[in-house]
Structure 1
Amino acid sequence: MTRPDRLDPDDQARLEHILDRCPGLADTTRHVRSFATMMTNRNGHLIDDWITAAEAGASPHLDAFATGLRRDHDAVQAGLTLPHSSGAVEGTVNKIKSLKRQMFGRANFDLLRARVLLYS
């Protein structure tokens, strides 16, 4: 998960050794790194090329991921291009869903509301 240029020399050598021994993993690593760069730099205009390359690769998991990205292409491209983010509210939504799951079948909406307000 660390950028390759930030790895210490021992870890870099170990990673290169592993990738040399497993071409499929090397291909997957290349795709994941390019996707991470695209996300970090907000290069959404490159998504079509990335999807095509991932679908042509050897990994069925990346192929399935690319197919999902293609299905929701406009939203994915906007997310990789625009500076807007729903990240600020995602944590709150996750917390509310967790509270709701904990209480499933035990209480009504009033208690959920009280717990959400208490833990906010």
Structure 2
Amino acid sequence: MPDPVEVNPQVIDVITQSQKATMAHQVVLTSGAGKAYQSVAQSSAIAVQDAADALRNISTIATTAAGVAIAQFLATGEPKYATALTYAQDLVKSATDDFSLIGAAAAKILSDFPAG
């Protein structure tokens, strides 16, 4: 019967080879860079999603305000309500511009980030 303290040299070789394959300096660097890239990509996607949510919410507010302004303008004929329509349109345009800028910035950050 073999000595229970002695480890088969093939087992030791497998462990050594596994360590070399997973803990080599270049493997660790590449793996770390890949994880960093994925983190930046996820953060960029979240920023774009948040901007889309903000645009959706502002559009809802502006549409509601425009509906009220049109109803009031038709009921009273007062020009201040027509002016409110312009403000609502400007609000949506500003939110759309912000969304576009955030999307472009997120894409630029991601394209400039080293992938590994």
Sort the TM-score into its range (normalised by shorter chain).
under 0.3
Structure with higher Rg: it is 2
TM-score where L is the length of structure 1: 0.26
Q: Which has the higher helix share?
A: 2
Whose RCO is larger (CA < 8 A, sep 6+)? 2
TM-score where L is the length of structure 2: 0.27
